[in-house]
Amino acid sequence: MVETLLERLCRELRAQTPASARNCREVATRINEEVQRICTESQRIQNTGDVKGWADTLANLRMKQCLHYLKLGSSKGRLELHSNLSAIVYRYMTPPQVQASYQARVSLIEDFLQNFYVESINAFRRENDVAPSYRPRSSLELAEYMAFTERYAKRRIPFSRGRSQQLIILRTQTFSKQQPPETAIDIQQAIEGTDSDQPRTAPLQRLREELTIQEDNMDAESTVRERVVEQLMDYLAEKGQNDCADYFSLRLMDLPTAEIESILGITPRERDYLQQRFKYHLLKFSFAHNWELVHEWLGAELGKNLGLTPQQWEYLQTKISQTQSKILGLKQQKLSDPEISRNLDVTPTQLRKQWSKLLEVAWDIRNL
C-alpha cells in the first residue's frame, strides 16, 4: 500500500515531536493542504509533469522549517525570526527627514515588525482551515506559526516585466513613507513590565517566564510543560475565562503588549484589567487546582522539599502554622487528602485553603 503525503507527514511529526497524535495530524493536514494548493495553482509545476515530486519537496522544506523552530523553542525561535526579518528590512527602513542612524532604524523596525506579526497571524487564519479566532497553543503550533511567518514575509510579489519583490520589503517601504518627521518610538515601553511594586511578583514572574520559554531539548520536561499549558487552558475554559485563555495563548508567543491589544481588539486599560484577572487565575491554578503538576515541572515537588534549600526549608517551618506543619508532615508520608482531613478533623475545603497558603509561603521563600 502506497503511503500518502499526509500519512508520511503525520508519521514524521509523531516520531520527531512530543506533540499528541491529534495535534500532529492537524499540523500535517495544514502543511499538506498548502502544498497541494501550491502545486495545483502553479502552472510552472504543472508543466514539469512531476507534481508529486514537487509536493514532496515543498512539504519537506516546510517540515524542516517547522522542526527547526520547534527545537529552538518559543523564545529563541521568536528571537531568530525577529533577527532574520530585521536583517531583511534594515536597508529599506529609511523614513523621510529622519536621520538614518542605526538606532533610529532599529527603533522603527521594532515598531514595524509588531504590525507585521499581526498581519501574519491574520494571514495564517485566512489561508488555513481554522476558525477566525484560532490561536497557536501547543509548542508545535507555535513553531508552525513562526515558520509560516518567515515564508509569508519572503513571498515574492510579481510586477510587470518579470520583476518581483519580497512581501515584507514592500510593507517596509510603505511603512517608511508613512512615518512623520522626527518620529521617536520606544518599543520597550510597550512591552509588558514585571510589576515589581506588586506583592508576590517574583514567584509569578518565575512561572510566567517558565510558561513562555521552552528549552532546546525535547525531553520529559517539555512533555510536562505541555501538560501544564494544556491543563491551565482547560482550567481557564472551565472557569469561563476564555478571554484569559486568548491572552495566555498570545503571551506564549512572547508578543509585545501593543500587539496583543491589537489582536484582541482591546484598549490598554482593558488589557491591563485582563492581565490582572489572568494573574489571579494563574495563581489559583498554581497553588490549588493542580499544584503537584506545576511543582513537578518547576522541579519543586514535595519530595524535593518544594524546591527549597536546607536553610530555606528550616525557615519555612518558622513561617507556617501548627496546622500547616501537620499537613506538610502527613503529605510527606503520602497520605491522601481524605485521610489527612480525617486525621486532623478538618473539612476538605479547609485542608485545601491551608495547603494553598503553605505553598504560597514556600513559593515566596524560594523566590527571595
The string of pLDDT tens digits covering residues 216-239 is 444 444 555 666 777 777 788 888
Three-class secondary structure of residue 115 per DSSP: helix
Sign of CA pseudo-dihedral 255, 83, 196, 294: positive
Query: Residues 13-55: pLDDT tens digits?
Result: 999 998 899 999 999 999 999 999 999 988 888 888 889 999 9
Residue 358 burial (10 A CB sphere; 0-12, 13-18, 19+): buried
Q: Residue 150 is placed in which grid cell?
A: 518567515
Quote the pLDDT of residue 352: 75
Q: How far is CA 364 from CA 148, 188, 212, 314, in A?
A: 40, 28, 21, 14
Residue 57 pLDDT class (50, 70, 90 cuts): very high
SS3 content of the chain, % helix, strand, coil (to 5): 75, 0, 25
pLDDT over 90, % of the chain:
20
Question: Which secondary-structure segment (H or E) carries 63?
Answer: helix 51-89
C-alpha to C-alpha distance for 30 and 347, rounded to whole angstroms: 50
Paired residues of 156 in beta bridges: 166
More confident residue, 332 or 254: 332
Q: What crossing angle do the helices spanning 337-344 and 322-332 adopt, rounded to 10°? A: 140
pTM score, whole prediction: 0.51
Q: How far is CA 236 from CA 75, 190, 199, 243, in A?
A: 23, 26, 23, 9
290 close to 235: Cβ distance less than 8 angstroms: yes
Residue 297 has pLDDT above 50, yes or no: no
Return phi, psi of residue 331, to 5°: -65, -35
Residue 153 burial (10 A CB sphere; 0-12, 13-18, 19+): buried
Quote the pLDDT of residue 87: 84
Residues with Cβ within 8 Å of residue 111, at least 6 apart in sequence = 185, 187
C-alpha to C-alpha distance for 271 and 274, rounded to whole angstroms: 5
DSSP state of 368: -
Residue 186 pLDDT class (50, 70, 90 cuts): very low
More confident residue, 327 or 283: 327
C-alpha to C-alpha distance for 320 and 365, rounded to whole angstroms: 12
Q: What is the largest CA-CA distance in the chain?
A: 85
**Nearest CA among 277, 361, 264 for reference residue 319:** 361
Quote the pLDDT of residue 54: 93
- One-letter amino acid at 324 equals Q
Q: Would you give the distance in Å from CA 182 to the centre of its chain?
A: 35
Quote the pLDDT of residue 355: 74
Q: Which residue has the cell 511578583?
A: 201
> What does the pLDDT average to over 68-93?
87
DSSP state of 130: S
User: What's the chain's Rg over C-alpha atoms?
Assistant: 25
Q: What is the mean pLDDT of the chain?
A: 76
Query: Residues 120-172: pLDDT tens digits?
Result: 999 999 999 888 888 888 899 999 999 999 999 998 887 766 677 888 988 88
Quote the pLDDT of residue 332: 77
**Nearest CA among 63, 175, 65 for reference residue 111:** 175
Quote the pLDDT of residue 296: 53
Paired residues of 166 in beta bridges: 156
Residues with Cβ within 8 Å of residue 289, at least 6 apart in sequence = 235
Query: Residues 270-294: pLDDT tens digits?
Result: 888 888 888 777 777 766 555 555 5
